[in-house]
Amino acid sequence: MLKPDVKMELVAIVGSDRYVDQPEVLTCYSYDSFAEEAMPEAVIFPLTTEEVAEVMRIASREKIPVTARGAGTSVCGGPVPVQHGIVLCFSKMNKILSINTRDRHAVVQPGVVNLDLQKALAPHGFFFPPDPGSMNFSTIGGNVSHNAGGPRCLKYGVTVDYVLGMQVVLASGKVVRFGSKNIKDVTGYNFSALYCGSEGTLGLVTEIILRVVPRPETMQTLLVTFDSLDNTARAVSDIIGSGILPAAMELMDKMTINAIEDAVGIGLPREAEGTLLIEVDGTTEACSRERQQIVAKVQEHGAVTIEEACTEEDRNRLWTARRAAYGVFAKISPNIVSEDVTVPVSRVPEMIRKIVEITDRYGLKAGVLAHAGDGNMHPLVCTDRENHEEWQRVEKAFAEIFQAAADMEGTLSGEHGIGLAKAEYLPLVMDQDTRDFMALIKHAVDPDNILNPGKFV
Amino acid sequence: MSGTGNCGKCGICLSVCPVYAVLKEEQNSPRARVQLIKAYKNKKLPSSPLLKELIAKCLMCGSCAANCPSGVDHYSQFMEMRSQLIEKHGDRLEIRGLVYLLAKEQRLRLAMGAARMGQAVVPSAFQKKYRLGNIPVKNYPKLNKKPFRAEVPEEIPPISQERGTVLYFTGCGTNYIFGETGHAALKILSRLGYRVLIPQKQTCCSIPMLFHGGVEEARENIIANIECLQHENACAVLVDCPTCGSALRDEFPAMMRKYGLDDAVAEQIAAKTQDMTAFIADHLDQLTFRQEDAEPARVGYHLPCHLKNAAGSSEAILRQIPTIDYVQLANSGDCCGGGGTFFYEYPELSGQIAAAKIASIRESGAQIWLTDCPVCRINLAGQLAEEDGIAMMHPLSLLAGLLDELDKQVL
């Protein structure tokens, strides 16, 4: 609990209905989708930048930790308040302030749910490309803070590629603005890019200018199966290596397909060792040509079946199934650990073999799915954290998986962020001087370390 | 009953919860309720009036469970937790009263009779001015003059060639408030050639009791219903209320096991239970409708959560009727905020949930708004103004009214 006089000051800013500190309610802000949890001392729901600034002036004076939260659907522990203090929950600060398709931008508050932005853009024939698995419920603020990706980021790039500018409240309570509504802007440092993926450790993003793009004329979706996982992976690196650029290319192994099929039962190929969900988009002519090129490539790699999703309904079903993957693994066991190591796409076959070898060697029940086209792996391990012996094996296996990714010039996280989950592995991909530089920036912006403390920096 | 262990905290449920959609507070989300129950079971949180409120501020629409990829059974967990917390912290007097009434058909019949007299003697000035929950008193439906089941015989023979026998579980909505739904059902079923049995011993399905901690009060009702619905020759047990349907299909067998009783007969009944409109949709080609109407009515539909989450909908049948101008509302599958007694307990919140639905039916220009669930109907009709000129009814009432005249059919 915060000191009574501090509480009084905070309540004076937002009113008693948007300041909560009963243990029952605090419990609900102790978690995201990651395993570790920690209780805040108060939760505040700001509605305006001014309110956030006033809260920060008090928090910095009192040196109270402040952790930003959107919908709490991060999978790395990003919004878990490990050093307690205040959780600033942006879920009610959720207005779409403007949509301007002539100049191709939208201005939003951080609590806007990704899907709600997509729905607002659709009538204009536009969309916002980042499509994390959580897009139906995660917020743009969270997407920005974790520099979220998603299947179609293979072609379109990730969140940072769509952030033109932002308004940020600093630890001190000062309000700064980066970028502009211009597609091109090299006026000073590109701070917006620095804040993308900073996981709330550098400031509180209260307004975001996003680049939006026209929806492609058409989309075509293929479901391809293979009788070996290795062939599946080779097909992926060959397709990308030959210059074809699908919008998305999702790889699922047998266990993943069966887990999804058990849960949703839409007729996915249970027998296949490897399955690719491939989507191309653009003009009808371009799509047809790309599809033919892809079909030829997968056949070279021994594709067993190639099916096309003919209707919008079929397409939606396949994507809904793919998006449910994280959740369906939770059905199998009490806990799941999902990581997102990423390697150059030419190393995808090698990395997948390595993941299978490591998880087999540690006797773990694991599935492999991947946004394979951009090398973004999602090894998923089913486990029970209460089983300490097994949990130790899980930790060892992931340590080896991270090491393997680093050895292949890969990286720890493609889209989930570091948060609590991978902080200890940073040295694998970042040397001491680079980490010191990161700490230097953090210290300059947040000298008292009150912004989401206890995380990766 | 499955535990909370497999909730992966993924947050998919946030995107389908009508309460979260309006409040945007994690503590009012299905994921939070699951985590709170877990914290309570692990003794990290004691029971408290606030905990009870957080668990109870839920429509029990079941959309979280229906969309959960991890197979968490929110519905049963919430029901059990509600029951435990009500035991410790009590419930509102009027809600306890409701549980008391529903537990005995005789009490309910008496209360409904008294309420009907009450409706007749309450001055209209009072009815205009006051609200119960979020609904003006004048907008509540008039109760049936006589309970539906007292108006009709226990066995109704078919009026065309006999095809078989069905059991009709009428629910309290039809029995006490919307008798016309029952009459419409009988008209269609006997036209189809079904012998309809309406066991007089049937009573409240018990769902309202179970939602409000009346696990023991529900026992007698459930057993009585199972006894009177056991009928080997009947090919189906038909319900006109989606919530009764979910009780017969899911809760009766589950509760029998919970009471430590044999669930075999309950399972047989569950397997035979079917939504009346779906049953009729399967036989639609055997009905003849009037082929033309000078001015076909424009019709909208509200899909009740308990039908949607059991993979049902009456929409398909509406598209097949030539003499209506069916207009699909973009939000026809969104929750109305009624939720049993939710609209009475949380009027403001319920009103916020209903607002978008009311706006879209007004915009559609529909004159008739259909829904299968009596609570949705009371809730939505309650929000409409007289000048809207929108009549609410069960799809069965509309269908029965559109049937071709029988003598013409015979000719």
In tens, the pLDDT along A177-204 reads 999 999 999 999 999 999 999 999 999 9
Strands (E), A102-229: 105-108, 126-127, 163-169, 175-179, 204-211, 213-214, 218-226
A371 has a pLDDT exceeding 90: yes
Query: What is residue B411's predicted lDDT score, i.e. its pLDDT?
Result: 38
A406 has a pLDDT exceeding 90: yes
Query: What is residue B3's predicted lDDT score, i.e. its pLDDT?
Result: 52
Query: What is residue B138's predicted lDDT score, i.e. its pLDDT?
Result: 79
Q: Is the dihedral of CA A424, A429, A433, A438 positive or negative?
A: negative
Residue A98: band (very low, low, confident or very high) from pLDDT cuts 50, 70, 90:
very high
Q: Which two tokens stand for residue B232?
A: 């080997």
Q: Residue type for A272, please?
A: A
Answer for the pair A41, A83: CB distance below 8 angstroms, yes or no: no
Query: What is residue B128's predicted lDDT score, i.e. its pLDDT?
Result: 65
Contact A29 B12 (CB under 8 A): no
Residue spans of the domains in chain B: they are 12-89, 287-407
In tens, the pLDDT along A269-281 reads 999 999 999 999 9
> Looking at chain B from residue 265 to 304, which residues have their Cβ under 8 Å from any Cβ of chain A?
none
Rg (Cα) of chain B, in Å, rounded?
21
CB nearest to A28's CB, from B5, B32, B44? B32
pLDDT tens, chain B, 411 aa long: 345 558 889 999 999 999 999 999 999 999 999 999 999 999 999 999 999 999 999 999 999 999 888 889 998 899 999 989 988 888 887 788 877 787 888 888 888 887 877 777 666 666 666 777 777 877 888 888 999 999 999 999 999 899 999 999 999 999 999 999 999 999 999 999 999 999 999 999 999 999 888 888 899 999 999 999 999 899 999 999 999 999 999 999 999 999 999 999 999 999 999 999 999 999 998 888 887 766 889 999 999 999 999 989 999 999 988 889 999 999 999 999 999 889 889 999 999 999 999 999 999 999 999 999 999 999 999 999 989 999 999 999 999 999 987 655 443
Residue with tokens 């990730």: A158
**Any residues with CB less than 8 A from the CB of B90 and at least 6 apart, and which?**
B96
What mean pLDDT is reported for chain A?
Answer: 95
Length of chain A: 457
* Whole-angstrom distance, CA of residue A356 vs CA of residue A348: 12
State mean pLDDT over A67-75. Answer: 97
Q: Which two tokens stand for residue A90?
A: 């942006």
CB nearest to B11's CB, from A29, A72, A115? A72
Query: What is residue B139's predicted lDDT score, i.e. its pLDDT?
Result: 82
Tell me yes or no: is domain B287-407 CATH 1.10.10: no
Q: Residue type for B120, please?
A: A
DSSP type of residue A42: E
Residue with tokens 């079909």: A295
Angle at alpha carbon of residue A121, lines to A286 and A91, rounded to 5°: 130
State mean pLDDT over A291-310. Answer: 94
* Whole-angstrom distance, CA of residue B212 vs CA of residue B341: 10
* CA–CA distances in Å: residue A87 to residues A25, A26, A79, A81, A204: 12, 9, 8, 7, 11
Q: Which two tokens stand for residue A447?
A: 């000298």
Q: For strand A96-100 and strand B297-302, is the pairing parallel, antiparallel, or unpaired?
A: unpaired
**Based on the number of CB atoms within 10 Å of its own CB, is A412 exposed (0-12), middle (13-18) or buried (19 or more)?**
buried
* Whole-angstrom distance, CA of residue A409 vs CA of residue A405: 7
State mean pLDDT over A350-376. Answer: 95
Query: What is residue B1's predicted lDDT score, i.e. its pLDDT?
Result: 37
Strands (E), A272-383: 274-282, 303-309, 335-338, 365-371, 376-383
Q: For strand B135-136 and strand B391-393, is the pairing parallel, antiparallel, or unpaired?
A: unpaired
In tens, the pLDDT along A432-449 reads 999 999 999 999 999 999
Contact A28 B51 (CB under 8 A): no
Q: Which of B16, B25, B42, B352 to mutate to test the interface with A (most CBs of A within 10 A)?
A: B25
Q: Is the dihedral of CA A60, A65, A69, A74 positive or negative?
A: positive
Query: What is residue B104's predicted lDDT score, i.e. its pLDDT?
Result: 81
Answer for the pair A252, A274: CB distance below 8 angstroms, yes or no: yes
Dump the DSSP string for A186-207. -SS--HHHHHTT-TTSS-EEEE
> Looking at chain B from residue 70 to 129, which residues have their Cβ under 8 Å from any Cβ of chain A?
70-71
Question: Domains of chain A, with CATH numbers?
Answer: 4-89 (3.30.43.10), 96-214 (3.30.465.10), 218-407 (3.40.462.10)
HEC profile of chain B? CCCCCCCCCCCHHHHCCHHHHHHCCHHHCHHHHHHHHHHHHCCCCCCCHHHHHHHHCCCCCCHHHHHCCCCCCHHHHHHHHHHHHHHHHCCCHHHHHHHHHHCCHHHHHHHHHHHHHHHHHCCHHHHHHCEECCEEHHHCCCCCCCCHHHHCCCEECCCCCCCEEEEEECHHHHHHHCHHHHHHHHHHHHHHCEEEECCCCCCCCCHHHHHCCCHHHHHHHHHHHHHHHCCCCEEEEEECCHHHHHHHHHHHHHHHHHCCCCCHHHHHHHHHEEEHHHHHHHCHHHCCECCCCCCCEEEEEECCHHHHCCCCCCHHHHHCCCCEEECCCCCCCCCCCCCCCHHHHCHHHHHHHHHHHHHHHHHHCCCEEEECCHHHHHHHHHHCCHHHCCEEECHHHHHHHHECCHHHHHC
Q: How far is A387 from chain B (nearest CA, A)?
A: 14
Q: Which of B2, B4, B7, B9 to mutate to test the interface with A (most CBs of A within 10 A)?
A: B9
B11 and chain A: CB distance < 8 Å anywhere?
A: yes
In Å, how far from its chain's centre is CA A255? 23
Q: A31 phi and psi, to 5 degrees?
A: -140, 160
Nearest to A101 by CA among A119, A123, A116: A123
Chain B residues in contact with A329 (beta carbon < 8 A) = 8
Chain B residues in contact with A73 (beta carbon < 8 A) = 10-11, 14
Contact A330 B6 (CB under 8 A): yes
* Whole-angstrom distance, CA of residue B119 vs CA of residue B111: 12
Q: How far is A16 from chain B (nearest CA, A)?
A: 15
State mean pLDDT over A389-410. Answer: 96
Three-state SS for A364?
coil
DSSP type of residue A160: G
**Any residues with CB less than 8 A from the CB of B306 and at least 6 apart, and which?**
B61, B62, B242, B243, B245, B246, B373
In tens, the pLDDT along A223-242 reads 999 999 999 999 999 999 99
Contact A326 B11 (CB under 8 A): no
Residue with tokens 């929750």: B335
* Whole-angstrom distance, CA of residue B365 vs CA of residue B300: 9
* CA–CA distances in Å: residue A132 to residues A74, A105, A149, B71: 10, 20, 5, 22
B48 and chain A: CB distance < 8 Å anywhere?
A: yes
Q: B66 phi and psi, to 5 degrees?
A: -65, -25
* Whole-angstrom distance, CA of residue B242 vs CA of residue A347: 54
Chain B residues in contact with A31 (beta carbon < 8 A) = 9, 35
Q: How far is A142 from chain B (nearest CA, A)?
A: 13
